[in-house]
Amino acid sequence: MSQPIKIMGISGSYDNDSANSRLIELLFQRCNNLGAITYMWDNKNKPLPLVGEDGSWDSINVKEFQDMASSVDAFILSSPEFHGTMSGVMKNNLDWIYSKHCSGKIFALMSTLGGQSTSNTLNHMRIVVRWIHGWAVPEQIAVPNIKSAFDQNGQIIDININERLDKLAESIVTNSNKLRR
């Protein structure tokens, strides 16, 4: 029997209680049900310095982040959309991952928006993933009107988005297993 798939979640928000972190947790639950092991990078307690900032290349948080990235089989990225693109937090996190950490690994992409749904953030993250030699699965999720997307228990209200979360989890685990062979 093969080892379980290990998945790293990276949120484009500093707040561990953000909509993007919650969205990753909901996808983690589905991946765990499929036998995966999940790890969330903690931007709040272990923020990454800006790339190029004095001392950033020797940062303990960067080393831990890169070690975690090297140790997993797949990634889940979820970013809010600000001014038509991913958050600065997400971009900075991705700037610390190189092909040596993620070449040939699966990436799942999700975004949240205050208004109507667009694919801008998803497309921009897909470009970065391609440049670092990762494989973004075709399934992706953009959650519009994020302030009203969750119920009081933190669950997504829209049944279609819930079904897409199920399909995205299946795609992450199935395709990660294919690439590990």
* pLDDT of 115: 83
Residue 155 resides in a domain: yes
Residue 1 resides in a domain: no
Domain that holds residue 34: 6-180
* pLDDT of 35: 97
Residue 156 resides in a domain: yes
pLDDT tens, residue by residue, 58-69? 999 999 999 999
Residue 116: which CATH number? 3.40.50.360
How far is C-alpha 55 from the chain's CA centre? 26
pLDDT tens, residue by residue, 101-136? 999 999 999 999 988 878 899 999 999 999 999 999
Residue 50 resides in a domain: yes
Predicted TM-score (pTM) of the model is: 0.96
* pLDDT of 181: 63
Number of domain units in the chain: 1
Residue 123 resides in a domain: yes
Under DSSP, the state recorded for 12 is S
Which regions in the chain score pLDDT beneath 50?
none
SS3 of 90-114: HHHHHHCCCHHHHCCCEEEEEEECC
Residue 53 resides in a domain: yes
Separation between Cα atoms, residue 97 and residue 151, nearest integer Å = 34
* pLDDT of 180: 81
Residue 148 resides in a domain: yes
The DSSP-derived string for 24-49 is HHHHHHHHHHTT-EEEE--TTTSPPP
Residue 166 resides in a domain: yes
